[in-house]
Amino acid sequence: MQDRIEGDINLGDARADWQRGYIDAETQALLDEDARWFLHQALSTPCLNVVERAEGIYLIDTAGRRIMDFHGNTVHQVGYGHPRVIDAVTRQLATLPFAPRRYTNRAAIELARRLAELSPGRLNKVLFAPSGTAAIGMALKLARHATGRHKTLSMWDAFHGASLDAISVGGEAIFRRDAGPLLPGTEHVPPPAMAERFFGDDGHAAERLADYIDYVLDVQGDVGAVIAEPVRWTTLQAPPANFWPRVRTSCDRHGVLLIFDEIPSCLGRTGTMFACEQVGCVPDMLVLGKGLGGGVFPMAALIARDDLDVAADRALGHYTHEKSSVGCAAALATLDVIRDEGLLQRSRELGAHGLERLRRMQSEHASIRAVRGLGVSFGVEVASLELAEPVMYRCLTDGLSFKVGSGNVLTLCPPLTITHAELDGAFDILDRALLSLRGA
């Protein structure tokens, strides 16, 4: 298990130094109140700043500064406050603000139908949940009921949520360390991004990892599901093209279900509606979340093959907001915006433009080790954490927010609605930050 991290830790001298030069007295008082009343945890506290408003690609802080949000916890595919999403939520609030369990509603039925029609292969049965982590839990339960096996195979360095069941299949030390006993039977293998460390650097490491997964499924004999991100989102790393098809074949051979976690990568982030459309492989279950609620409402979904509808006498989710009328209205409006505004094509076009710009920057900055792009989602791997943090804070000062993943990857994920000029402006900020820190 690698002690690499999902995001920036928000601790240390760099954070304090930046805040002293950027945060005014009124904002600092609010931050102190936040620290007073909230339990502290890594990745969330202390907070960076105080946000008063959000619109389009921008956060507006208490000082009125507009910050381009290339982080957004990946909920803002259609930007903040899209009028069609706000209108749909407002209309739903006026008629059906809540739908109790045991009842359904038109918005929930329509959203389930739309997701089934959009999903690849035979993924056409749906359950909703109030969070991606909860949807992961439903997928794990369904895999047990469908296969009669409790074991899972997942990857070190992966993130599937922060609950005990999710961190059991996840692989990041910051979530697992000192948590005590986790779920039994949660086996792990190295991720494709680390395959060369274990399987050689001759260009065939990922193939050997796929063979190793097949071996583990064979010798274990009682694994019910392989669960993974089709693309490691924190670092924007996709495995070689033949990797997931080989794993798919192994799963079929051993009667194992394949679960893809697309909580952050779904709904156009990669230039297609789902990231799995680009890896040559259809899973048995697909887990969606984050942007499904339009940047307004917590919404997630589990989409499964129809022949996995085998737990009618069990409770897979049973969540209070299982068929949230408001959440489903927000999700439907989000899907409409993606379709009507051509955001999938826009994601591909802007992604190609942005990746080309980053490649030019890489040629000009020795501190950039690699650049990656999937739609309007980008990863810039810099030399070290010692550089990544100062770059992040310099960009924050100049009005650009993004996430640092795995210690040294600048992960930039703006809304799909961003303009060419805004994207270029954000990369100008990043370019200036790298220039200013050259040799530091």
Residue 6 lies in a domain: no
Is the pLDDT reported for residue 3 higher than 50? no
pLDDT of residue 11: 61
Average pLDDT, stretch 180-202? 94
Average pLDDT, stretch 386-403? 95
Do 29 and 165 sit in the same domain of this protein? no
CATH assignment at residue 388: 3.90.1150.10
Task: Assess contact for 292 and 267: CB atoms under 8 A.
Answer: yes
Do 120 and 268 sit in the same domain of this protein? yes
Do 109 and 191 sit in the same domain of this protein? yes
The model's confidence at residue 385, banded by pLDDT at 50, 70 and 90, is confident
Is the pLDDT reported for residue 2 higher than 80? no
Residue 363 lies in a domain: yes
- As for how many domains the chain has, the answer is 2
Last residue of a domain, one of 340, 373, 406: 340
Do 189 and 215 sit in the same domain of this protein? yes
Residue 36 lies in a domain: yes
pLDDT of residue 251: 98
Average pLDDT, stretch 13-42? 93
Query: How much is the pTM?
Result: 0.96
- pLDDT, tens digit (0-9, with 9 covering 90-100), for 195-229: 999 999 999 999 999 999 999 999 999 999 999 99
Is the pLDDT reported for residue 185 higher than 70? yes
Residue 7 lies in a domain: no
Last residue of a domain, one of 340, 364, 383: 340
Last residue of a domain, one of 321, 340, 359: 340
Please tell me the least confidently modeled range out of 74-83, 107-116, 313-322, 367-376: 313-322
Do 262 and 120 sit in the same domain of this protein? yes
Residue 204 lies in a domain: yes
Do 383 and 334 sit in the same domain of this protein? no
Average pLDDT, stretch 17-46? 93
Residue 282 lies in a domain: yes
| Residue bearing the bigger pLDDT, 429 or 172 | 429
Average pLDDT, stretch 141-162? 97
Do 72 and 136 sit in the same domain of this protein? no
Is the pLDDT reported for residue 8 higher than 80? no
Task: Assess contact for 51 and 59: CB atoms under 8 A.
Answer: yes
Between CA 143 and CA 255 the distance in angstroms is: 11
Give me 199's structure tokens.
């399987």
Q: Determine whether 41 is exposed, middle or buried from the number of CB atoms within 10 Å of its CB (0-12, 13-18, 19+).
A: exposed
Do 201 and 226 sit in the same domain of this protein? yes
Average pLDDT, stretch 102-116? 97
Residue 2 lies in a domain: no
Do 326 and 349 sit in the same domain of this protein? no
The model's confidence at residue 439, banded by pLDDT at 50, 70 and 90, is low
Do 301 and 425 sit in the same domain of this protein? no
Average pLDDT, stretch 315-344? 97
Is the pLDDT reported for residue 4 higher than 70? no
Residue 8 lies in a domain: no
CATH assignment at residue 92: 3.40.640.10
Q: pLDDT over 70 for what percent of the chain?
A: 97
Is the pLDDT reported for residue 1 higher than 50? no
Mean predicted lDDT score pLDDT of the chain: 95
3-class secondary structure per residue, the chain = CCCCCCCCCCCCHHHHHHHHHHCCHHHHHHHHHHHHHCCCCCCCCCCCCCEEEEEECEEEECCCCEEEECCHHHCCCCCECCHHHHHHHHHHHHHCCCCCCCCCCHHHHHHHHHHHHHCCCCEEEEEEECCHHHHHHHHHHHHHHHHCCCEEEEECCCCCCCCHHHHHHCCCHHHHCCCCCCCCCEEEECCHHHHHHHHCCCCCHHHHHHHHHHHHHHHHCCEEEEEECCCECCCCECCCCCHHHHHHHHHHHHCCEEEEEECCCCCCCCCCCCHHHHCCCCCCEEEECHHHHCCCCCCEEEEEEHHHCCCCCCCCCCCCCCCCHHHHHHHHHHHHHHHHCCHHHHHHHHHHHHHHHHHHHHHHCCCEEEEEECCCCEEEEECCHHHHHHHHHHHHHCCEECEEECCCEEEECCCCCCCHHHHHHHHHHHHHHHHHCCCC
Do 87 and 41 sit in the same domain of this protein? no
Per the structure, the complete domain to which residue 400 belongs is given by: 13-78+342-436
Do 126 and 272 sit in the same domain of this protein? yes
